[in-house]
Structure 1
Amino acid sequence: MAPSKSSSSKRAAKSQSGTRNLTILAVALALLTALYYFLDSHLEWFYIFSPSHLQDLSQRALAAHGNDTRAAVAFIVGELSEKLPGGYVNLDEEWIFNNAGGAMGAMYIIHASITEYLIIFGTAIGTEGHSGRHTADDYFYILAGTELAFTPGSYEPEVYPVGTVHHLKRGNVKQYKMPEACFALEYARGWIPPMLGFGYADTFTSTLDFPTLWRTTWVTGREMVSNLARGKM
């Protein structure tokens, strides 16, 4: 029995609708890809911190306060809040445990936005782990103690004592270790949201510390949303 004209028309209309939807999806994907590459090549438009200033600030904080890390942190945060008024700098010293890549420490989130984060990260007893492979450059300004780093093929560790900076380039990965007490000003610039998965993974595969996960999410989300409201990506 031959199909009716109405059945043929419905199939044709359905086929045309599917083709149209695929075309719209392809165009949308192409536009989003073009937008991503455009923004990725102009990320400097959105940065409010600079690695050179943070290195200078860290060294001046150390020169002013020596081994008093708490005072050095207060010095750094105080100058940044004066340089960047309007709420870009979180003045509440909210310390939160952080487990990522097998390492454990604590962090104080000074700034978090779509393209940058600035934290104090460290531990009073030492730790070791995987750096993660990230969508942002990471700068680690050592304020106390020493950090060691290792890449495959090396026979000697990279050594970063107080006053130095360890730059982990976007897309690279290392093993790192803080043999004893070590604290650093950590600055990441690039795409920050994709880094959150690395920061969350250990909760689900190891620690099951969901209260800390909630605090991390709340403080990070609060800072990102408030900075977006100020027009800061």
Structure 2
Amino acid sequence: MAKAKPAQQSSFGKWPIIGAVLIALYALCSFLDSNVHKFYAMTPEALNNAVQTSLSASRAAGQDKNATYVVDTLLSNLVKTYPELDLQTDFRNPREWVFNNAGGAMGSMYIIHASITEYLIIFGSAVGTEGHTGRHTADDYFHILTGQQRCYAAGDLAPLIYNPGDVNLMPRGVVRQYWMDGETWALEYAAGWIPPMLPFGLADMLSSTLDYISFYHTCRITAREMVKNLLRGKI
């Protein structure tokens, strides 16, 4: 007598489990996103105060056009502002600088702080650049130190213009085209979820410039700082 074949388990039974997992993940992400500000160690107001103090000191010394002097003064002020953070201040070390190609723009950056919810960098170009800002998961505060930045959103017929001391705030989700004059340098502070921003900052090095050395050093420095801060309890 032939044995009866066991009834195949319906795949319908898997969908409630998958749906429950997706709902739980969505609830977790929503909870974390609504509380992300609790992980911040820096504030735009304190950073802007450090920038303004540094620019005033640079002007008084007749060095406001000297980017090296301005950055050096700023980093000293940032260490005083946030003594509890292990900020990177060795900006004269060329191994700590990396080229960054993103959204068609090319610049150079120095990472002062990087964690899961914040980064603080010096970014700019000695010869000028322009491109796409990207659409990000963090609010971005671009403090102009030297030079000039211009940007606009689709539909704007005149640019927004930012000079030394000005702050270009890019709320998360906002996208613009931007242009930077030669010898434009800025203190850039991003507050939000940083890991989802990384593909935008790395993709061009893999797909167009093929600059694998810059890719390696960007990953090396970013990972070093994020892991270091995680070990210090800074998310």
What's the TM-score, normalizing by structure 2? 0.89
Aligned to 1:78: 76
Q: How does 1:1-233 map to 2 (within 5 A)?
A: 4-5=3-4, 7-8=5-6, 11=8, 14-15=9-10, 21-66=14-59, 67=64, 68-85=66-83, 87-93=85-91, 94-233=96-235
- 1:207 is paired with a residue whose SS is coil
Quick one: distance in 1 between partners of 2:27 and 2:123? 35
Quick one: percent identity of the two aligned structures?
48
Where do 5+ consecutive residues of structure 2 fail to align? none
Give the Å deviation of 1:196: 0.7
Q: Which has the higher helix share?
A: 1
Quick one: distance in 1 between partners of 2:6 and 2:70? 77
- Paired positions, count: 226
Quick one: distance in 1 between partners of 2:196 and 2:131? 19
Bigger radius of gyration among the two: 1
Q: Kindly report the root-mean-square deviation, in angstroms, between the aligned alpha carbons of the 2 structures.
A: 1.9
Q: Deviations over 1:84-136 (max 9, x none)?
A: 34553123321111111111110000011111110000111111111111111
Quick one: distance in 1 between partners of 2:17 and 2:76? 50
Quick one: distance in 2 between partners of 1:33 and 1:225? 26
**What code does the residue aligned with 2:185 have?**
F
Quick one: distance in 2 between partners of 1:89 and 1:44? 20
Q: Deviations over 1:54-94 (max 9, x none)?
A: 11110110001132322222232223334434553123321
Q: Deviations over 1:8-59 (max 9, x none)?
A: 25x2xx44xx556544433222222111101111111000111111111101
- 1:8 is paired with a residue whose SS is coil
Quick one: distance in 1 between partners of 2:130 and 2:188? 16
Quick one: distance in 1 between partners of 2:112 and 2:174? 24
Quick one: distance in 1 between partners of 2:104 and 2:89? 29
Quick one: distance in 1 between partners of 2:52 and 2:197? 27
What's the TM-score, normalizing by structure 1? 0.90
Quick one: distance in 2 between partners of 1:112 and 1:79? 18
Quick one: distance in 1 between partners of 2:17 and 2:88? 42
